Amino acid sequence: MKKGVMVYVSEMKVGTSGKVTAIKATSMIKKRLLAMGLTPGTQFKIAKVAPMGDPIELNVRGYRLSLRKSEASCLEADIVGND
């Protein structure tokens, strides 16, 4: 994936880093994601994706966070790097 391209977090590959740009979710899911620290501007890295694509594990703000694929598909992000 190219740097600067907007994608949904659920589409990102392991080792890819991104920055949250928007949350496209219902108010309940949006509140949950915000409470977990996934605010616009937050940088993260995809640490692990389960074989069936669910859950997706992120390194964010110094900790590991597991998201359901449905939650990750609500997060828009810019690609900032690949390892």
pLDDT surpasses 80 at 20: yes
Does some domain include residue 25?
A: yes
**Per-residue b or e along 21-60, where b marks 16 or more CB atoms closer than 10 Å to that residue's CB:** eebebeeeeeebbeebebeeebebbbeebeeeeebbbbeb
Q: What angle do CA 36, 2, 40 make, to 5 degrees?
A: 25
CATH of the domain at 19: 2.30.30.90
Report how far residue 26's alpha carbon sits from residue 52's, in angstroms, rounded to the nearest whole number. Answer: 24
Does some domain include residue 60?
A: yes
Q: How sure is the predictor about 2, in pLDDT bands with cuts at 50, 70 and 90?
A: low
Counted domains in the chain: 1
How buried is residue 67: exposed, middle or buried, by Cβ count under 10 Å (0-12/13-18/19+)? buried
pTM: 0.84
Residue 67 belongs to domain spanning: 6-82
pLDDT, position 14: 93
